[in-house]
Structure 1
């Protein structure tokens, strides 16, 4: 199994101290967290996309470009790109640029999104969100795999002999399909033979397992090799030396975040830290407990990639860093040996593809 860290770049006060860092400091934290993730042995770092408060993640390509300049090996994910509201031409250009800057480390995750803000901001009709997602993805695939694309659709002006630049470093980058509840997203992933990323954030594990089972059923129905279906999963993470300490430290952050969440369809039934740890999908506790829970979810999901979020209600950067170090040291090694790894990711430190940090200026 491979492991990653993900962020939506939330910008909220610390639930305990009330301190709110500046936007500049928050962005610096994200880049430093990605550097730490790579140094600690994580395999991927993901930046989500949101266009309303309390998030600062309206421009993932810019953030991932900054991370690409500071890292060598780690895969750079979007978690997720809200493709239903965006122009596929702009997406093709922006993320091909990230792919080139990183030496071919981009992994795009697309989704229709579950926040209301982008529809009005970008002048899109939310009632057409699934049709937009499907059409935009078909065009994006063509723009990345073909040159001189001639195309017409229902939602944007036609193209004639269009070639987007730069071309991706990879031929082409992998696209994952993110889903929290949507069977339409699952269907699209299965249709095209692409990997699926299940949110694993707020619902019971059984709900996500049913979504993943649906993906595998539809994958096989479309004639793909069952062994080739790939699944990723997310999850809130808080690790400490023992379960009691983890729950005591994390409770004010988790419960503040749950109380503040009021987006329809995005509320969790797990209202306390004990409910989240014992009944929900979250990873809260000692390294041993977290490792056991990931293995338990692997039995339900069969996933190849596990992402963790350490962004909760203004948790201080130093504490996020501690959580990642402890997880990398005591959780990841045992699971890497115990769980299969079907992801065939090249190591850019061996191929020479990674961007070199702190390069001398060209003269």
Structure 2
């Protein structure tokens, strides 16, 4: 069971002061967070790509490269790379570079993106949303299989027996598929034999269990070893010394961000009642003491089959010291409890 963190590198206003830190400061803070995550024994850190004023990481590979030579063990992933509006050749080159700098710890988490700002920014038509992703994923997978590539598609110039460099340390470079629970994307990942990441940020996580089974069935039908394919989840959360402290610290920025996005998408107002309901064992918020969060991750593994858990922390802007303490608790207290219980459970025949 792998435990890690994901971030979108938000720069929304501080809920107490109203201050908005600079993109530069937040980027430097994130590098420090990745370094600490490595030091406390976490397995993976993912940085998400966005192209909005309230997010600082439009180039996740550069952030991960900054952390690559300051870390020793932690895996470095995008979360996600919006592949539909990017050039797969450049994506491959960038993450192969991170792979070299980190001596084989880079991963690409490819997705279509839940925000659409990158499409007009880079000159793509949203009507081609699905087609773009399918075509560019095909090219990305071909790039990692062969040093020289011949390829032709609809939305990019063809490639005629050209080499793509640098080559990564890992062969092949890991590519995960990020999904919000869309059935076709889950089936596609299974058929391709690619690891799957599910964004579980609402409702009850156990409702994703049928999707996991669908993914495994698709993988098996395509001739892949479904039991060997890792399945990850990405969920919002925060850890402090006790449940009440964690909830009180995490709620203000969570409410602010959920309401900001909700106004764009027509969601109802996000309330403390909604927040507290999601903190229960069956809910999708992983907020509380180390024991509370560990119990919820263990429950997720046993009920849904997740083999990698990524805690999205912070959501919105929180004091850097609080985030660093949350990372420390995740690595030193939550992760060991989860790993010990899952190892015991598996030894007794758990699946």
Question: TM-score over 0.5 for the alignment?
Answer: yes
Contact 2:27 2:57 in 1 (8 A): no
For residue 18 of structure 1, report the CA deviation from its aligned partner: 2.0
Q: Distance in 2 between matches of 1:196 and 1:269?
A: 31
Aligned partner (choices 274, 277, 281) of residue 276 of structure 2: 274
Contact 2:290 2:334 in 1 (8 A): yes
Q: Which residue of 2 aligns with 1:325?
A: 328
Q: Distance in 2 between matches of 1:39 and 1:266?
A: 41
Q: Which residue of 1 aligns with 2:347?
A: none
Q: Which residue of 2 aligns with 1:141?
A: 141
User: 1:269/1:40 Cα in 2 relative to 1: closer, same or farther (>3 Å)?
Assistant: farther
Contact 1:258 1:271 in 2 (8 A): no
Aligned partner (choices 303, 308, 313) of residue 305 of structure 1: 308
TM-score (norm 1): 0.89
Q: Which residue of 1 aligns with 2:289?
A: 286
For residue 216 of structure 1, report the CA deviation from its aligned partner: 1.6
The residue correspondences of 1:17-32 to structure 2 (distance < 5 A) are 17-32=17-32
TM-score (norm 2): 0.92
Q: Distance in 1 between matches of 2:332 and 2:340?
A: 14
Superposition RMSD in Å: 1.9
The residue correspondences of 1:204-215 to structure 2 (distance < 5 A) are 204-215=204-215
For residue 184 of structure 1, report the CA deviation from its aligned partner: 2.4
Contact 1:270 1:276 in 2 (8 A): no
For residue 263 of structure 1, report the CA deviation from its aligned partner: 6.7
User: 1:6/1:108 Cα in 2 relative to 1: closer, same or farther (>3 Å)?
Assistant: same
Q: Distance in 2 between matches of 1:229 and 1:172?
A: 15
User: 1:340/1:110 Cα in 2 relative to 1: closer, same or farther (>3 Å)?
Assistant: farther
Q: Does 1:336 align with 2:334?
A: no
For residue 125 of structure 1, report the CA deviation from its aligned partner: 1.9
User: 1:208/1:266 Cα in 2 relative to 1: closer, same or farther (>3 Å)?
Assistant: farther
Q: Distance in 1 between matches of 2:316 and 2:66?
A: 24
Q: Which residue of 2 aligns with 1:353?
A: none
User: 1:323/1:172 Cα in 2 relative to 1: closer, same or farther (>3 Å)?
Assistant: same
Deviates more, 1:65-74 or 1:238-247: 238-247
Q: Which residue of 2 aligns with 1:196?
A: 196
CA deviation vs aligned residue, 1:81-107 (integer Å, no higher than 9, x gap): 111111111112111111111111111
* Secondary structure in 1 matching 2:73: coil
Contact 1:16 1:253 in 2 (8 A): no
* Secondary structure in 1 matching 2:337: helix
Aligned length: 341
Contact 1:180 1:208 in 2 (8 A): no
For residue 265 of structure 1, report the CA deviation from its aligned partner: 5.8
Q: Which residue of 2 aligns with 1:41?
A: 41
For residue 256 of structure 1, report the CA deviation from its aligned partner: 1.9
Contact 2:88 2:140 in 1 (8 A): yes
